[in-house]
Amino acid sequence: MNYIIPFLFLITIVVFIHEYGHYYFAKKFGVGVTDFSIGFGREIFGWNDKSGTRWKICWIPLGGYVKFFGDRNVFSEAEQKKIIDKYNEVDRKKLFILKPLYQRSIIVAAGPLANYILAILIFAIINMVSGKDMTPAVINEVVKDSPAYVAGMKKNDKIIYIDNNKVESILQVSTFINTSMSEKIKFLVIRNDQEISFFVKPNLVEGKDSLGNSVKKRMIGIKLSPLNNEFQKKPLGPSNAIYYSVKEVWFVTTTSLNYLGKIITGSGDSSQLGGPIRIAKITGQVAEYGFIPFLSIMAYISISLGLINLFPIPMLDGGHLMFYLVEKILGKPLSEKTQEGFFRIGLFLLFSLMFFVTFNDLKDLGLF
């Protein structure tokens, strides 16, 4: 229960924000909304608002949806005419399918966008309330015969860039090393007021993360510690807080895309991919450290949900946007047979991914 309750709270907030993005712009453009659901399957409880939307919570808490009035795909002008004929003039104005292409695109894209906005706001609040660490990344020790030692790095070197990522905090060093997709990581350091660059090939070792979970770490053999063991954490003003928040969101997004690219090409470590079980476990572990860490993991999950939904896979928001792009280019929607084929492919990909990450999750728990 220590894991389930924080996970359900987190996923409910993140999914609600995603679906509310769709809902907000649908209402803004006059589209009728019949259902706003958190979760799938059988309804636990719900209510109808004055506009007729059914707001509900369902049993399977792994997503949600917003259902539009007359919701369905339109495959041809003939089919569109049949649908139009079923509704009177007032109801036709509420049909999602009859809205201009740009409005449909905005409504679909608004879900992932809402997730990104949520992440930016969370990081900004943390930066303003808790502060952002600005402790310089100065090397305290270089392990003899380690990759860093062989490359020529020394004690008191100040790390300022890792793979062109500016190091603004000692806490970022481990993150940049472990998220690097390069075989040899580029370090730029300051030594005696001079900038020196090094290329270091890390060792891949089995280890534990800060929560005690098994992970494969990239190690170069350096130890860092702040001066007098004091971290320089500074609360930021609104503009700086938002700036660093956007920067963090961009870093997480690009790093995730690079990692997935490596997975697709077969050069990445797919064992680190996790699904709902691992997310629930990590969420529960992080929640034990307090509200601020819990907010951080919520922001990261929100980014992941927004990014995944932008993938051009049918069944996801990105798949719909892909169809709209094709519609714009061709001047008409794809045929019913073509769209149904793509949806079957999308369903297969999603189920395959869910099976794979669930297997990884169970293996992580020691069940395989």
The pLDDT of residue 279 is 72
Higher pLDDT, 240 or 89: 240
Cα-to-chain-centroid distance, residue 276: 13
Closest CA to 12 of 64, 67, 68: 64
Cα-to-chain-centroid distance, residue 153: 34
DSSP string computed for 272-308: G---HHHHHHHHHHHHTT-HHHHHHHHHHHHHHHHHH
CB 196 within 8 A of CB 346: no
The pLDDT of residue 202 is 92
Per-residue pLDDT for 368 more than 60?
A: no
What separation in angstroms does the CA of 277 have from each of 3, 42, 168, 319, 364?
A: 10, 21, 33, 26, 10
β strands within the chain, DSSP E: 33-48, 54-68, 132-133, 137-142, 158-162, 165-166, 185-191, 194-200, 203-208, 214-219, 222-224, 233-234
* Cα(339)–Cα(160) distance, integer angstroms: 50
Closest CA to 40 of 23, 21, 19, 26: 19
CB 108 within 8 A of CB 317: yes
* Cα(298)–Cα(25) distance, integer angstroms: 24
**Mean pLDDT value of segment 7-23:** 94
* Cα(140)–Cα(26) distance, integer angstroms: 55
Look at the chain and count its residues.
Answer: 368
Per-residue pLDDT for 120 more than 80?
A: yes
Burial of 226 (0-12, 13-18, 19+ CB in 10 A): middle
Categorize the per-residue pLDDT at 218 as very low, low, confident or very high, splitting at 50, 70 and 90.
confident
Structure tokens at 48: 């109808």
Residue 326 backbone class (left: φ over 0; alpha: ψ -120 to 50; beta: rest): alpha
Topology of the domain covering 133-234 = Pdz3 Domain (2.30.42)
pLDDT tens digits, residue range 322-351?
A: 989 998 998 888 777 787 888 888 888 887
For residue 195, the cross-strand partners are: 190
The pLDDT of residue 341 is 85
The pLDDT of residue 288 is 80
19 given a catalytic annotation: yes
pTM for this prediction? 0.86
Residue type, 349: L
The pLDDT of residue 271 is 65
Categorize the per-residue pLDDT at 300 as very low, low, confident or very high, splitting at 50, 70 and 90.
very high
Per-residue b or e along 25-54, where b marks 16 or more CB atoms closer than 10 Å to that residue's CB: bbeeeebbbbbbbbbeeeeeeeeeeeeebe
Structure tokens at 191: 């030594």
3 state DSSP class of 111? helix
Higher pLDDT, 247 or 90: 247
Give the range among 131-140, 174-183, 350-359 with minimum mean pLDDT: 350-359
Dihedral through CA 286, CA 287, CA 292, CA 297, nearest 10? 50
Categorize the per-residue pLDDT at 162 as very low, low, confident or very high, splitting at 50, 70 and 90.
very high
* Cα(292)–Cα(297) distance, integer angstroms: 9
CB 135 within 8 A of CB 322: no
Residue 60, phi then psi, degrees to nearest 5: -95, 105
What separation in angstroms does the CA of 352 have from each of 102, 194, 347, 356, 358?
A: 32, 51, 8, 6, 10
Per-residue pLDDT for 150 more than 80?
A: yes
Structure tokens at 246: 């956007």
Q: What is the DSSP letter of 157?
A: P
Helices (H), 185-290: 238-265, 276-287
Per-residue pLDDT for 282 more than 80?
A: no
Categorize the per-residue pLDDT at 47 as very low, low, confident or very high, splitting at 50, 70 and 90.
very high
The pLDDT of residue 78 is 53
Q: Where are the domains of the chain?
A: 4-129+302-364, 133-234
CB 71 within 8 A of CB 331: no
Per-residue pLDDT for 85 more than 80?
A: no
